[in-house]
Amino acid sequence: MTEHQFSLDGEQIAFRDVVRKFAEDKIAPLAAETDRTGEYSWDAFKALQAMELTALSYPAEYGGSGASLVTQAVVAEELARVCASTSLMFLISKLGMLPVINFGSHQLKEKYLPRICSGESQCSYGLSEADAGSDVASMTTRATRDGNDWIINGSKIWITNAGVSDLYTVFARTSDDRHKGISAFLVEASWGVHIDKVEHKLGIKGSPTGVIRFDNLRVPDANRIGEVGEGFAIAMHTLDRSRPTIGAQAVGIAQGAIDYAVAYMKERKTFGATLATRQGLQWMVAEAQMQVEAARTLVYRACAAVDAGDPHGDLSTLGAMAKCFASDVAMQVTTDCVQLLGGYGYTNDFPVERMMRDAKITQIYEGTNQIQRMVIAKKVFG
């Protein structure tokens, strides 16, 4: 896919169809129970493993499939169409390992990437803190040099996959310089990553979100990612390349809600005719589908920019637009789909209320939509 081509090629369309059937057969039947119990679905993860989707996003030389980001977005969308929590399983290790892929030493890649590809390991991204969320440069977690090691003290919040992941990419302060005083490290959980709390959330209940803590955690310098002081730049570089796939997740949630609502409307009768014949409701669905298709195209464009190596330097803006627009669309569309089902839409016997709850987080994580609008405005105003 070139930077100007925003539709899928034949191979990608065929792959999408395979992933959709897999998602409907293996993932969809688990989604409601996963949401109800709020527990991580190892059955869903093993299904991803069996389909080799755990390897899709990584370089071939380390055991991966080397798929383009556009193809990864297709998978994120198709999984989110039936279960947002499972789409996060697919996405989270990539977020955690992107710093290693782009900035890590060959030894670091060789040691850890094959474990991620096989599904033996999972990785989380440790950036946010209680007083450093949108303003990550205010972080206070500190790494202090000790010979050939670093000693890390502090805590991180909003950690997706906390307690499930055995690897954590951790950003910590190595000097007092606000932006150039942060470094990145790949940490093994067994070295002393404590799970202080697991959050009870509105949505994505099958994906644990927690608070992690480090008390004199010792990390070898070989597990430093990039140069000392490069951490902030690495974090931003990573989010630019991950954000478009959150847009894909949002598109998937919205499409899943539309697809369910349309099937319901074809069956449900009022006043002697199906809901699908009511022009007012048809127009609601038409508007929703237009918005989703626009969001999908914007997501593909941002992903294509990543695949092309960001040739025009506009990835930050494109990624912010894709994530922001798609997540706002997902929230509106899922809310409308609850309305289309009437009272039934408000019950958990039907999946649209779950999709509405799941959609909300896409407006918040990996940079709130208010932050995305700041990024976009900065570019527009020069």
pLDDT tens string 32-69: 999 999 999 999 999 999 999 999 999 999 999 999 99
Strand partners, 168: 124, 187
Average pLDDT, the chain: 97
For residue 158, give the 3-state DSSP assignment: strand
Which class is 123-229 in CATH? mainly beta
Contact 171, 183 (CB under 8 A): yes
Segment 202-236, tens digit of pLDDT: 999 999 999 999 999 999 999 999 999 999 999 99
Nearest residue to 353 via CA among 203, 243, 225, 242: 203
Inform me whether the pLDDT recorded for 1 exceeds 60: no
HSE of 28, CA atoms in CB hemisphere, 13 A: 18
Please name which of 17, 234, 19, 33 lies closest in space to residue 136, comparing C-alpha atoms. Answer: 234
CA angle 186, 188, 192 (to 5 degrees): 120
Please determine, for residue 2, whether its predicted confidence score (pLDDT) is greater than 70.
no
Predicted local distance difference test score (pLDDT) of residue 7: 80
DSSP H or E run through 338:
helix 315-340
Q: Percent of the chain at pLDDT above 70?
A: 98
Mean pLDDT of the 281-300 span: 98
Q: Are 106 and 282 in contact (CB under 8 A)?
A: no
Question: Could you tell me if 352 and 195 are in contact, meaning their C-beta atoms sit under 8 angstroms apart?
Answer: no
The per-residue pLDDT for range 106-135, each reduced to its tens digit, is 999 999 999 999 999 999 999 999 999 899
For the domain made up of 232-381, the CATH class stated in words is: mainly alpha
* Pairwise CA distance, residues 58 & 101, whole Å: 8
pLDDT value of position 288: 98
169: three-class secondary structure by DSSP: strand
**pLDDT exceeds 50 at position 3:** no
**Percentage of the chain exceeding pLDDT 90:** 98
pLDDT tens digits for range 332-349: 999 999 999 999 999 999
Alpha-carbon Rg for the chain, nearest whole angstrom, is 21
3-state secondary structure of 153: strand
Q: In sequence order, what are the residues at sequence separation of 6 or more whose Cβ sits closer than 8 angstroms to the Cβ of residue 160?
A: 88, 92, 95, 124, 125, 207, 208, 209, 365
Lowest mean pLDDT across 4-8, 172-176, 311-315: 4-8
- The pair of three-digit structure tokens given for residue 152, joined into one six-digit string: 């890390």
Residue 90 tokens read as: 């697919």
86-98 as b/e, with b when 16 or more CB fall inside 10 Å? Answer: bbbbbbbbbbbbb
Q: In which element (H, E) is residue 152 found? A: strand 149-160
10-118 maps to CATH 1.10.540.10: yes
Residue 129 per-residue DSSP state: B
Q: Is the pLDDT of residue 195 over 80?
A: yes
Per-residue confidence band for 148, with pLDDT thresholds at 50, 70 and 90: very high
pLDDT for residue 75: 98
First vs last Cα of the chain: how many Å apart? Answer: 29
257 in Cβ contact with 355 (< 8 Å): yes
366 is catalytic: yes
Q: How many residues does the chain have?
A: 382
Look up residue 62 and give its DSSP letter.
G
Determine the Cα–Cα distance for residues 364 and 319; give it in Å rounded to an integer.
14
> 160: helix, coil or strand?
strand
Annotated domain spans of the chain: 10-118, 123-229, 232-381
Q: Is the pLDDT of residue 5 over 60?
A: no
Question: Model confidence at 6, in pLDDT bands (50, 70, 90)?
Answer: low
The answer to whether residues 194 and 214 touch, using CB atoms and an 8 Å cutoff, is: yes
In angstroms, the CA 58 to CA 95 distance is: 11
Q: Phi first, then psi: what are they for 171, rounded to 5°?
A: -100, 130
Across 354-362, average pLDDT: 98
Helix axes 106-118, 84-103, angle to 10 degrees: 160
153 Cβ neighbours under 8 A, 6+ residues apart: 141, 142, 144, 214, 215, 216, 217
Calpha distance 1→331 (Å, rounded): 29
Tokens of 75: 């998978």
Q: What are phi and psi of 131, to 5 degrees?
A: -115, 20
| Given the residues 77, 78, 353, 366, the one annotated as active site | 366
